[in-house]
Amino acid sequence: MHHHAQVTTAQGTVRGVQHDGVHAFRGIPYAAPLTGASRFAAPEAPRPWSGVRESAVSPTAPTPPPGSRVNGLDLTALTGDGWIEGLEYLTLNVWTPEPAAAGLPVMLFVHGGGFLAGTGQALLYDGTSFARNGVVLVTCNYRLGAPGWLLLPGRPDNRGTLDVIAALSWIQENIAAFGGDPGNVTIFGQSAGAALTATVLAHPAAPTLLCRAISQSGNAMGAFTTEQATRVTYAVARHLGVRPTIEDFADIPDARLVSAITGIAGLDLTTEEQPDPLLGLTPLAPVLTAGTLEQQPAEAVASGAAAGIDLLVGTNTDEAALYLAPTGALAATSEEDLLALAARIHPEPHGLLHAYRAQHPHASAAQLRTAIMTDHLFASGSRRLAHAHAQHPDSRTYSYEFSWRSAAFDGNLGACHCIELPFVFNRADLPSLSGPQALLGPGPAPLEEAAAVHATWARFASTGDLDGHHSDGSTQALRIESLTPTPVAS
C-alpha cells in the first residue's frame, strides 16, 4: 500500500509520491512565475496556493532543442529531454527518506549545461540513492540563456545565481518540514552548475545559507569581464534586430531569445585583458560587475568569502575529451591544432606548448591537447579555488581528482567531463549510459565504484569530514587530498 505523504510548506501543502521507501516531491515553486520583463528581474517570492499541490514534472527553463547528442554522444540522461514550456519553471524537487524525520543533512544540486541547457529533473539527478543514505536531496531549475545571464543595463546581473540563492532561502524556510536540517546544507554543482556554485560562495548571503559546498568540474576563474559580456549583449541584440535595452528585450518571446543565443555561437570573446575562459563553448557565463560579483569567485574566496564553509573541489583527469573524442578530432590532433589551441589561451603559444611538453614528456599530441584544454576550462580555476579556500583554516578544504576511464569511442573518452555524475548519484545502472558510444562505454557498469563515490559525497554532506578517506578501498577512481593545514597542538 503506497502512502503518499503530505507536507505543509510556508506557501501551501504538497503531496509526494512514495517509491522504494523514498518520498519524492517534484515541481515545487521556490520563486514566482516569470513573464515579459520579470524574466530579467530578480526572482520574487513564490506565490502561496490553497489546496494540495501534487508532485508533478515541472516546466523547464527555455533551452535549445536537444541537439543533446554532443557529437554523437547521447547525454539526455544528464540534460533532460528538452524544453517543457510554462511560466512556472523556477521549481525544485525534494527526495527524503522520511518527511517526519528531523535533522537530516540537506544537499542542493545545481545542474550543468553551459548556462544554456539542462534541468534539475533530468533522469540522472534522481535523489533516491541520496535519500536512502539519509540525505534530503534537492535539485532545482534556474534561469538559463538570456534571462539568466545576459548583461542588460539597469537590470540585476547574474540572475541565475540569484535564483539559486532563492532556492537556498526556500530550503532555510521549508526543508525542516521534509526532515532536513536547515543548519546543515551542502550545495553541489557540476560544470556550469559548479561555476555558479562558486558565485554563490562569493555572495555575502552564503554563510547564512550554507554549511558546505562541492564543486565538480567548475571554473572559479571563469567569469566574463564586463567588456566580454557587453560584446555578447550587443551580438544578441544585433541578431534580434533590437536595441540592447530592457524595453526592447521585455517583449521578445522565449523561443526567439533561445535561437538568438544559439545564433551567436562561436563568438570570440578574447580581449586585450583576458582570453575567453570558455573557449567559445558557450557565450554566457557569470559576469564580473559591481554589486553582485566584484571579482572572480576564487579571488573572493581568497579574500575570505566562504571562510566558514567546508569545501570539496575537483575535476576529472581528461575533462576536455568530452568535446574532442566523439568526433574523432582527438585522435587526429596535429601540431597545428595544438598551436591554435595554445594561441587562444596564451600570448606566447610556443612557450606554453614547450612548458606542457616538459611537464608531460611522453604525451602524444592528443594527450597534450586534452591536458591543455582541461586545465584552461576546468582544472586551473578549480585548483585556484581550492588553494584560495585553504588559506582560511576555520573550515575544511579537500580537493579530488576523478580518473575512472570510459572505454567509449575506442577508449578515447577516458575520464571525460561529466563522467563522475553517474557515480555521484549512484545511477551507473541507467541503460542509456552504457554502450560503445555512451558515456560509461561498453563493458559492465561500474556499480561498486559508483556506490563508493556516492557514499563519499553523502558522508561529506553529513559531517564535512573526509580525513582517512583519501582513497576508498572499493574504488581507485577517486583520489581525495586534504588541503587544510593541520592545526598546531597547543
Instruction: Identify the CA nearest to 285 among candidates 447, 460, 388, 158.
Output: 158
Q: Pairing relation of β-strands 91-96 and 22-29?
A: antiparallel
Give the CATH number of domain 58-331+363-482: 3.40.50.1820
pLDDT, position 65: 85
pLDDT, position 51: 96
Q: How far is CA 490 from CA 301, 449, 487, in A?
A: 28, 40, 9
pLDDT, position 468: 73
Instruction: Identify the CA nearest to 256 among candidates 276, 242, 246.
Output: 242
pLDDT, position 247: 96
Do 28 and 108 touch, CB atoms closer than 8 A? no
pLDDT, position 488: 43
Do 266 and 204 touch, CB atoms closer than 8 A? no
Instruction: Report angle CA 460, 463, 468 to the nearest 5 degrees.
Output: 70
Summarize pLDDT for 247-306 with one digit per residue, the tens.
999 999 999 999 999 999 888 898 888 888 888 889 999 999 977 799 999 999 999 999
pLDDT, position 475: 67
Q: Which residues of the chain have pLDDT under 50?
A: 1, 68, 488-490
What is the phi/psi pair of residue 376, to 5°?
A: -65, -40
Angle between helices 335-345 and 349-359 (to 10 degrees): 110
Residue 93 cell numbers, joined: 524537487
What is the phi/psi pair of residue 235, to 5°?
A: -65, -40
- The residue written with cell numbers 532545482 in the block is 140
Measured distance CA(225)–CA(40) in Å, rounded: 20
pLDDT, position 340: 94
What are the residue numbers of the active site? 191, 319, 417
